[in-house]
Amino acid sequence: MSAPDIRIETPATIHDWMSRGEAVLIDVREPQEWAQARIPGAVLLPLSSFDAASVEVPPGKKLVFHCRSGVRCGAAAELLAASGLAPKDAPIHRLGGGILAWAQAGLPIEQG
């Protein structure tokens, strides 16, 4: 069995997928960070209490993890990959640069 493919994507690519309803975006930041600002449509699943079994991806959707700067989403992707519960025959995506890069690209953010 081969290891899941983990890929880093640009904010523009992820935004495009989200706008077309093609992706499930999981925010692995902590609740206090989520409360301050979040990407519209993201689902909160903090890394501190990460449970790979709670990651649900409808068939045909791309799975994307994101965090503040792009580090914790890598840990979440690795945890999911190691769990054996990652979507079969589909890569796990990470938002390169996290919500900071998303905001810097001028993409939508929901405040508090």
Please report whether residue 24 resides in a domain.
Answer: yes
CATH number of the domain within which 33 lies: 3.40.250.10
Of 106, 92, 78, 90, nearest to 11 (Cα)?
A: 106
Question: What is the DSSP secondary-structure string of 46-94?
Answer: -GGG--GGG----TTPEEEEE-SSSSHHHHHHHHHHHHT-SPTTS-EEE
The tens digit of pLDDT for each residue in 90-100 reads: 999 999 999 99
Please report whether residue 37 resides in a domain.
Answer: yes
Please report whether residue 1 resides in a domain.
Answer: no
Structure tokens at 72: 């914790």
The tens digit of pLDDT for each residue in 23-77 reads: 999 999 999 999 999 999 999 999 999 999 999 899 899 999 999 999 999 999 9
pLDDT of residue 3: 67
pTM to 2 decimal places:
0.94
Q: Of 5-9, 50-54, 85-89, which gets the smallest average pLDDT? A: 85-89
β-pairing verdict for 37-38 and 110-111 = antiparallel
Query: CA-to-CA distance for 39 and 10, rounded, in angstroms?
Result: 14
Tell me the residue range of the domain where 29 lies: 6-111
Whether 1 has a pLDDT exceeding 60, the answer reads: no
Amino acid at 10: T
Number of domains in the chain: 1
pLDDT of residue 89: 82
